[in-house]
């Protein structure tokens, strides 16, 4: 199998390269509006018994870091896919529940259903890339990201949603926003530094991933965002099956099916569970499974993340997975991110 690197120089690659600028623009646009401040004060006063975080696809996976931070600050936070929330968990819609809904388009089928089912029962905060969308227009407060128009597979919209959710979590938890924003400024700089070497990374990955048929991306805590989204974008961009899951769940079954055509990307993650992830990586190497660790001290440059605060790390963790989508497309000889069945906006439940 000989890689054709010409096919990847298209609209999807352009979106990936735009991410640092879109992160900068989104951060500059974030404002503590009266509506957002009111929601935060109500949460801090104990008016909400819980916060329900909801979305679909990469919008859902992007909620992991926010959920972790809220729970660490004593807030009962629940992640529920919008499709399940609107049909099977409607009891959450109540005056003492704050709903945070993430949707790039703000008009997917599940979002429309959510607006119909909720209908003012729960205060709703929207995180969306589309000003004037039904979600933005019907929310009590809205955070609009500045990802711009996106070709197909979520990349700009995903990283800007992560950044916006981190900022919003800091607001909800009563953190000092100026200090939080100073940390978040590092996201664009670190992403730009990494992406400056994208071509070298893709060439190295094409050699590493040649002949691989079973792809797994695993992590813990906030790294579940990259594990879930990374597997999703590989399926979308390359029409290749990939699984994203927790490192712990990976030991409960999938470990048994690994073979010569399997590749496992382990996200090292934060210090609380990094040792567990490093141990999994070492065990895989001992079994002679093709595996790599993604983190600041990774063996290969493509998986070596720039040093950054914990609040920024989830944004950077998706970058190696994006490089994988480009390499796999080059190996397959097809333009990445061209949808043949799916659509950018899902309009059917």
Instruction: Give the domain ranges of the chain.
Output: 15-185, 190-332
pLDDT at 1 over 70: no
What mean pLDDT is predicted for residues 61-84? 98
Beta bridge partners of residue 50, listed in sequence order: 97
- Per-residue pLDDT tens for 209-264? 999 999 999 999 999 999 999 999 999 999 999 999 999 999 998 999 999 999 99
Q: 190-332: same fold as 15-185? A: yes
Q: Are 140 and 125 in contact (CB under 8 A)?
A: yes
Domain 15-185 CATH assignment equals 3.40.50.10490: yes
Residue labelled with tokens 């100073």 = 182
Scored b (16 or more CB within 10 A) or e, 269-301 reads bbeebbebbbebbeebeeeebbbbbbbeebeee
| The CATH number of domain 190-332, selected from 3.40.50.300, 1.10.3720.10, 1.25.40.10, 3.40.50.10490 | 3.40.50.10490
- Per-residue pLDDT tens for 279-319? 999 999 999 999 999 999 999 999 999 999 999 999 999 99
pTM: 0.97
314 vs 134: CA distance, rounded Å: 28
């Amino acid at each position: 199998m000989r890689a054709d690197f010409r096919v990847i120089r298209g609209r999807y690659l352009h979106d990936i390269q735009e991410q640092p600028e879109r992160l900068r623009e989104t951060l500059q646009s974030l404002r503590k509006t009266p509506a957002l401040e009111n929601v935060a004060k109500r949460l801090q006063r104990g008016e909400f018994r819980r916060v329900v975080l909801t979305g679909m696809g990469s919008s859902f996976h992007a909620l992991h870091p926010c959920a972790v931070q809220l729970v660490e600050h004593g807030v009962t936070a629940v992640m529920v896919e919008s499709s399940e929330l609107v049909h099977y968990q409607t009891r959450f819609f109540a005056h003492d529940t704050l709903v945070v809904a993430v949707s790039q388009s703000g008009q997917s089928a599940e979002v429309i259903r959510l607006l119909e089912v909720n209908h003012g029962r729960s205060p709703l905060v929207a995180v969306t890339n589309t000003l004037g969308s039904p979600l933005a227009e019907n929310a009590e407060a809205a955070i609009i990201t500045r990802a711009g128009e996106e070709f197909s597979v979520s990349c700009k919209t995903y990283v800007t949603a992560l950044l916006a959710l981190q900022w919003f979590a800091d607001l909800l938890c009563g953190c000092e926003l100026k200090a939080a924003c100073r940390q978040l400024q590092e996201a664009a700089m670190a992403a730009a530094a990494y992406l400056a070497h994208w071509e070298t990374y893709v060439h190295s990955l094409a050699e590493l991933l040649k002949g691989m048929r079973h792809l797994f991306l695993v992590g813990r805590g906030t790294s579940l965002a990259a594990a879930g989204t990374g597997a999703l974008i590989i399926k979308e961009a390359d029409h290749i099956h990939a699984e994203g899951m927790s490192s712990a769940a990976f030991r409960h079954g999938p470990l048994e099916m690994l073979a010569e055509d399997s590749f496992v990307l382990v996200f090292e993650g934060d210090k609380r569970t990094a040792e567990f992830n490093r141990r999994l990586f070492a065990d895989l190497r001992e079994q002679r499974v093709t595996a790599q660790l993604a983190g600041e001290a990774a063996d290969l440059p493509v998986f070596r993340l720039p040093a950054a605060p914990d609040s920024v790390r989830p944004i950077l963790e998706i970058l190696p997975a994006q490089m994988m989508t480009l390499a796999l497309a080059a190996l397959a000889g097809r333009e990445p991110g061209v949808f043949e069945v799916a659509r950018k906006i899902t309009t059917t439940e």
